[in-house]
Amino acid sequence: MESPSPISIQQTFAQDPHPEPSPKHKKSIVTALMAATLRSPSFREDTYFVSHLKSAEKKALQELKDKLSVSHAPPVSMWGISLLDGSDKADVILLKFLRARDFRVPESLQMLTRCLMWRQSFEADKILDEDLGFKEIEGVVAYMYGYDRDGHPVCYNDYGVFKDKNMYERVFGDEEKLQKFLRWRIQVLERGIKLLHFKPGGVNSIIQVTDLKDMPKRELRVASNHILSLCFRIITLKWSPIFINAPWYFSVLYSVFSPFLTQRTKSKFVISKEGNVAETLYKYVRPEDVPVQYGGLSRPSDLENGPPKPASEFTVKGGEKVNIQIEGIEAGATITWDIVVGGWDLDYSVEFVPAAEESYTLAIEKPKEDCRAEEAIRNSFTTREAGKMVLSVDNTASRKKKVAAYRYVVRKSTAI
């Protein structure tokens, strides 16, 4: 017989949590996109089973194969996979090009041909073995980090570091430096592609999370156009893009390349304004896999200890106080916990309540209102007597709903 969960969540309304009326505003491209794209809880990737295709789609796939074999002398390969051997892996790649052009064979072949030519001239197949430098921005500007809820590898991009003029000049100071950076950025992407399965029903795309906060406008005008021109060649093939902290002028940038994307590709885009980062990412990535700087619980050091401990998710409504009770803690045990609330800006406190009635409740973390950063709080406490821990999240002063997550580990005393 399973024991009852030691965790209970109590909800207390200190005020009537009526939703705030939304201010009237004109819809920009960004707000319209957000309304359209933040409905799906996860990316639905195509299965790539040929048996699931419609008859017209099967015909288009065979026609693309025939035309490719006529226009290109073997071997024809991409990411180390032969495109003319009739394998399932080849079908996955060819179907990506067909779907990117709504199964219009001539346009799909043209796109595929251009991509093959670009990879050859760019020497993309050799790029993984190159040492391009950029040690100071590795793990900061573009990096692979964890997986989404469906097992897709996730790549995070943050160009806000280039608001520093010295950093900007070191990386984008001249055309040679810019081209070297672009090559490094593609190298990061190629590493991510190595994690894909290239098989029907498998993981065949990467989730790209791009943080637009503090991105310099100058960098948008100069470098982003180059990045997009290169990455556009594969965006319809391997990316499912999420843009977070989107400023108003992002709509201008989006309008530049959106005419070249099919409606199907546009539907993959997720665009979120500032303040909705955790709420957006939790739809696709579990909190324990989201980096702490984006409202998750994952720290780089955690990855050294194997798979992350799963977190429990909850929602704090406006006007609501949530108490998380961790019961059954023995004397001498050490409890370590992580907790985060998207956007914070509320009261947070922690108490230890001894089981003995004659003992006093201990304030481990006194109520504080300065929880405004996105990053999670991690703390630990060693008990002297048995009891329970109570983590309190007080959102009674706000009417805004917030997503939150926590996890904990209790280690019993080893003293004899």
- Look at residue 130 in the predicted model and tell me its pLDDT: 93
Residue 10: per-residue pLDDT: 54
3-state secondary structure 253-316: HHHHHHHHCCHHHHCCCEECCCCCHHHHHHCCCCHHHCEHHHCCCECHHHHHHCCCCCCEEEEE
Q: Which residue ranges form the domains of the chain, and what is each CATH number?
A: 45-122 (1.10.8), 127-274 (3.40.525.10), 312-411 (2.60.120.680)
Given a contact cutoff of 8 angstroms between Cβ atoms, the answer to whether 335 and 326 are in contact is yes
Counting Cα atoms < 13 Å in the Cβ hemisphere of 14 gives: 13
Q: What pLDDT score was predicted for residue 19?
A: 40
**What are the distances in angstroms from CA 366 to CA 19, 117, 138, 257?**
29, 62, 38, 50
CA distances from 352 to 177, 298, 362, 377, 386 (A): 56, 25, 5, 17, 10
Residue 2 has a pLDDT of 39
Give average pLDDT by consecutive 10-residue segment, the chain, 416 residues.
Answer: 47 44 38 40 75 96 96 90 95 93 95 92 92 89 93 91 85 85 90 94 92 71 58 57 82 73 76 86 96 93 83 92 93 95 89 95 81 78 95 90 94 75
> How far is 362 from 250, CA to CA, in rounded Å?
49
Residue 399: half-sphere exposure toward Cβ, Cα within 13 Å: 8
- Tokens for 363? 């304030």
> What per-residue string of b and e applies to 31-45 under the rule 16 or more CB within 10 Å gives b?
bebbeebbeeeebeb
Q: How many CB atoms lie within 10 A of CB 241?
A: 18
**3-state SS, one letter per residue, for the chain:** CCCCCCEEEEEEECCCCCCCCCCCCCCCHHHHHHHHHCCCCCCCCCCCCHHHCCHHHHHHHHHHHHHHHHHCCCCCEECCEECCCCCHHHHHHHHHHHHHCCCCHHHHHHHHHHHHHHHHHHCHHHHHHCCCCCCCCECCCEEEEEECCCCCEEEEEECHHHHCHHHHHHHHCCHHHHHHHHHHHHHHHHHHHCCCCCCCCCCCCEEEEEECCCCCHHHHHHHHHHHHHHHHHHHHHHEEEEEECCCCCHHHHHHHHHHHCCHHHHCCCEECCCCCHHHHHHCCCCHHHCEHHHCCCECHHHHHHCCCCCCEEEEECCCEEEEEEEEEECCCCEEEEEEEECCCCEEEEEEEEECCCCCCCEEEEEEEEEECCCCCEEEEEECCCCEEEEEEEECCCCCCCEEEEEEEEEECCCCC
Q: What are phi and psi of 368, to 5 degrees?
A: -140, 150
Look up the pTM and report it.
0.84
Answer for the pair 173, 205: CB distance below 8 angstroms, yes or no. Answer: no
